[in-house]
Amino acid sequence: MAVQTTGQSSTIVDVLEKILDKGVVIAGDITVGIADVELLTIKIRLIVASVDKAKEIGMDWWETDPYLSSKAVDNNTKALEEENKMLQERLEALEKKLTPASNRINQTDFNY
């Protein structure tokens, strides 16, 4: 006579699939203090989720971090180039405004 078990067994793959599908948040704070004086606080926040789930809840910081994404480096470089161009144009405009004024001052100062 064979004994059959009807209980469900979850493999590590099933558990991992559920965790990545739903996501898990682990949060904790570590506080070090002496005589009721707080010296150090460490806040620990850990989220385990799939990339799709993370994007769904608004977490996509890795896409804009230049250390993690080549696209972010390209975007950052383009933004800096545009800002540099704009600042160069402003500087040239200011120099044009100052040049005629300095010429007038020099001409009037030396007209005797």
Query: pLDDT, tens digit, for every residue of 9-63?
Result: 678 888 888 888 888 888 889 999 998 888 999 999 888 888 888 888 888 877 7
| Domain residue ranges of the chain, discontinuous segments joined by + | 12-59, 69-112
Element housing 88 (H / E): helix 70-109
Confidence of residue 66 (pLDDT cuts 50, 70, 90): confident
Confidence of residue 87 (pLDDT cuts 50, 70, 90): very high
pLDDT of residue 91: 92
Mean per-residue pLDDT for 71-95?
Answer: 85
Q: Letter for the amino acid at 31? A: T
pLDDT of residue 17: 84
